[in-house]
A and B are shown apart, each in its own frame.
Chain A
Amino acid sequence: MSKRRLIASVLLFVFCFAPIANAAVYDGQRVRIVIGSTAVSGDSYMVADIVNRYLQKYLNCNSKDDPVGANEAFATIRTAAPDGMTFMIFHDMTYLGVLFGSYGEEYDLENMVIGPRVGQNPGSCFAGKTNAPYKDMKEMAEWLKADPKRTVRLSVELGSVSNLGFVIYYVWLKNTYGEDVANQMRFVLGGSTDTKLQQLWDNNADVIFGDYSSFLQYTKEGVDEQLALRYVGIMDRIPGRTDLPVYGDMGITMDGKPLYFSKDFLIYLPKGTPDNVVAELDEAVAKMQADPQFQEDMSKMTYAGNTLSSKEAKEFIYAKRDAIKKVLAEAPNIEDLE
């Protein structure tokens, strides 16, 4: 083959196949987004649904939310083809489930591909009755310290962000007020938000864990006293609300630093997903972040549209997991505090 012919052949090859090599992976494709919760009224679904609408726009794909629950979502990410057409949007429970022992190590972050962060929810919180003898979790600590016979029953779910909220408070109590005061906390197993509300109304719990927006209506003027709630501890600052008892502002710390914890919602893909797929998601998420309508949709629900690229998100979530692992080493098994 002459040199000229060889060059011509190479040029022809490049000309013919370049469009395929550069073709968008998601363009016109059907995409399944599994969500680690079955509740369509919870933050997992709401964030995923908002993000889904913008991914459809910027990836030009036909994507569908599938709120299958944590168990099914994790199993799906382990077994789905690594082509990017199935991915999960979920929050910190992805690694907390493994740290708390609810899920096996086969579901570890190392066995998934970390995609970009798509949003945050700062509203994880504890709420109690308005007639409780404490206004916030700082006062609760003082109230417990004043009488060793007093107890506070906190309703949380095992292996979840609420479990973490409990543990962080326990460790802080132990380090600040002593182990005896910390052991005056009682763990009550909760469930969905409505189950926890009923536990509070039935007097089977004193404080329940939930989401800021889910509890909001119960904290307003005019609500019947039996139903009324008060926020006693919010894990991060809510934009526009300076009157709330935020963990870090109350002096509650984790690893010696004031704690501000938001739930981080990331895209998780099956192990082996090619880099070009993740790069395309990064690009779409960056466009989404710059879209003012996306920011408005997120803030309307009291969520934050703070995104990170997959590389930044991976470093961030690994560091977050390591910090939490350290705290868990100091905490007792929550079930021993029943």
Chain B
Amino acid sequence: MESLSNKKKVLEQKPLSFMERMYLPAIAKGMGITISHLFKKEATIRYPEVEREFSANFRGMHSLKRDENGKERCTACGLCALSCPAEAITMIAAERKNDEKHLYREEKYAATYEINMLRCIFCGLCEEACPKEAIYLDGPIVPADYLRKDFIYGKDKLVEAPLEMKK
């Protein structure tokens, strides 16, 4: 029956011709191809020294943002932890004291904020969930480490540097 798509190809199994049975022409052709690759540019990037350029929407390490006055934006509402499919985020909330007004934007803040980088799948749902624009996955690649406990990143690693330090 004729095929409707007209894409069907009937394979014929022909016995090898003498030249094909000699292998040599095919081998010479193959060796030519491999030697040509000797002179091509290699695709390797020497990672620690050279870094690949990422696209604008690359999701790397998290950072907890500050507002224009250098106050932490996070209010410890817990929406990021709730939205996290890998359950990588935990936090403990605390109430802002009067003398801490220059540190935190709202009356409530995160006393501890931990992300387990081994659990995180870098999906970016936390930054979508955040109502205060406090968390973004705009950092570099999370570096390797030796111990599991060292992959639990606290506020010391996550919070953005203060404004004066940035300058």
Q: Do A and B come from one complex?
A: no
Q: Which residues of B are in contact with A by a Cβ distance under 8 Å?
A: none
A interface list, Cβ under 8 A from B: none
